[in-house]
Amino acid sequence: MRVKANPKILALLVPFLLSLNTLACAVPVQDAVPAHEAAPAMVAPAATSPADVHEATVPEGETTVAGEQAASGEHEEKAGDVIMHHVKDSNVLAFEPFGEIELPHLQLGSLDISITKHVVMIWIASVVLLLVGAAAGASIKKLSAKQAPSGLGNVIEALVDFIRNDVAKSNIGHGYEKHLPYLITVFFFILTCNLLGLIPYGATATGNINVTLTLATFTFLVTQAAAFKELGVGGYVKHLTAGTHWSLWIIMIPIEIIGQFTKPFALTIRLFANMTAGHIIILSLIFISFILKSYVVAAAVSVPFAIFIYLLELFVAFLQAFVFTMLSALFIGLATAHDDHDGHELEASGHH
Amino acid sequence: MEGLGYLGAGLGAGLAVIGAGLGIGNIAASAAEGTARQPEATSDIRTTMIIAAALIEGVALFGEVICVLLALK
């Protein structure tokens, strides 16, 4: 089967990612940087020479976040701090033995729109997706009717076909084509972000709750828009009553309204927690050998288990991208289902 | 007293995992049984299984996030 959605993916990708990036970073300054961490963060870019950095960080010896690089020679850092440093977003792209790149701090009014590690990873992911999508689209377009796709085009087609048939068609049913570009985009974007976190010097942008919240917000907006479009205002309100008797409406309507918001919330937490937890586990396993200061533990426990969890993470990267897409499709399907009184799910899975 | 927070976080994480493990184990058992009885429904069963497992996992992860917040506070 030919993939028709490729130009659409590309067309959708750019505005989607741009808005994503803006939303992900538009966190009020006060929230993004707790007060006790703000001081060294302001000091660090101003102090240019190593001696200045050293002097500036000595009085605030407790705040390890900014002082970590400068003070690494002085004392041992706690394992927990190092793990959090790796998982958290920061303004530094670290290439550890070779040095690091300081990213610019930007501010728009009261909003901190600095380019951070995760923003860079989002940009890399979008560039990778644009290149891969264009290459795959071109390789499929070149084929004549009798040729089977091969190489990159084949891989991408298999995934796109899977999303179309097993995710979109079976969960949304009638009119799934409209939502296909969004679902495919979100799948490949999450997958790329997840995988970028597993390569050396990479960071997991999807391990940042701002990014996952933005993605979930998109699903929420798409779901609501689709429901209004499909059912109309009257049908939408009727949907909120879940087809129950009028005496139950006082309970059902608030529950259904809350239900609309729990869905994106669950999507947010699921992706964020899965991606963060995997990285914390890998780092914890590595740190076991540092805490016990033993080569035997490193060889027998840390390395094999870390590799095992890494491979599991590789699976989880695909699984979570799939689950996010699948649940997005399911929510769209549930919201647009024309049900009169009984089960949402029957209706949603009934169309094939 | 600060130690009790860590104790609570650890216990909470474990309890959340017990619940999620039981739930997902039940789903997997039923799915395996269903697939064995009706192999032609494998893909449908798999889809349903993943959705249910994801929902259970989501609830468990809420608990885990609370435990992490407790431990990091």
Distances A253 to A82, A327, B64 between C-alpha atoms, Å:
47, 22, 30
Kindly report the nearest CA distance between residue A270 and chain B, in angstroms. 5
CB distance from A217 to chain B under 8 Å?
no
Residues A240 and A262 occupy one common structural domain: yes
Q: Quick one: pLDDT at residue A82?
A: 80
Is A58 a member of any domain? Answer: yes
**Comparing B49 with A30, which gets the higher pLDDT?**
B49
- Same domain for A13 and A44, yes or no, is no
- Nearest Cβ partner of A269 from B50, B51, B58? B58
pLDDT confidence tier of residue A47, bands split at 50, 70 and 90: very low
Distance between CA A202 and CA A37 in Å, rounded?
A: 24
Residue A1 domain flag: no
Render pLDDT for A198-225 as a digit per residue (tens, 0 to 9): 998 888 999 998 999 999 999 999 999 9
Q: Which residues of A touch B72 (CB under 8 A)?
A: 84
H helix and E strand count, chain B: 2, 0
Question: Beta strands A92-95 and A27-28: pairing type?
Answer: unpaired
Domain boundary, last residue among A77, A112, A147: A112
A13, A54: one domain? no
- Residue A11 to residue A30: CA distance in whole angstroms: 36
Predicted-complex ipTM score: 0.76
- Please give the tally of structural domains in chain A: 2
Residue of B nearest to A350 (CA): B44
CA pair distance A324, A269, nearest whole angstrom: 11
Residues A79 and A95 in one domain: yes
Q: Comparing C-alpha atoms, which of A101, A90, A86 is closest to residue A32?
A: A90
Give residue B20's pLDDT: 93
pLDDT beyond 60 at A62: no
Q: Which domain holds residue A157?
A: 6-23+117-350
Domain boundary among A112, A147, A179: A112
Question: Which residue type occupies A161?
Answer: D
Q: Which domains does chain B have, with CATH numbers?
A: 2-72 (1.20.20.10)
- Among A24-28, A29-33, B28-32, where is mean pLDDT lowest? A29-33
Binned at pLDDT 50, 70 and 90, residue B64 comes out as confident
* Distance (Å, whole) CA A102 – CA A95: 11
Question: What percentage of residues in chain B have a pLDDT greater than 70?
Answer: 97
- pLDDT by residue (tens digit) across A173-196? 888 888 999 999 999 999 999 999
**Given pLDDT bands bounded at 50, 70 and 90, which one contains residue B66?**
confident
- Triad A169, A170, A175: Cα angle to 5°: 40
A328 lies within 8 A of chain B by CB: no
Specify whether A251 is located in the same domain as A126: yes
Q: Which two tokens stand for residue A84?
A: 């959090």
Task: Write down the pLDDT at residue A27.
Answer: 45
Rounded percentage of chain B residues whose pLDDT exceeds 90: 38
Would you call B54 and A330 a contact, using CB atoms and an 8 Å cutoff? Answer: no
Please name the amino acid found at residue A15.
Answer: P
Same domain, A19 and A32: no
Check: CB of residue A112 under 8 Å from CB of residue A28: yes
Chain centroid to CA A73: how far? 35
Last residue of a domain, one of A112, A131, A146: A112
Does residue A136 share a domain with residue A85?
A: no
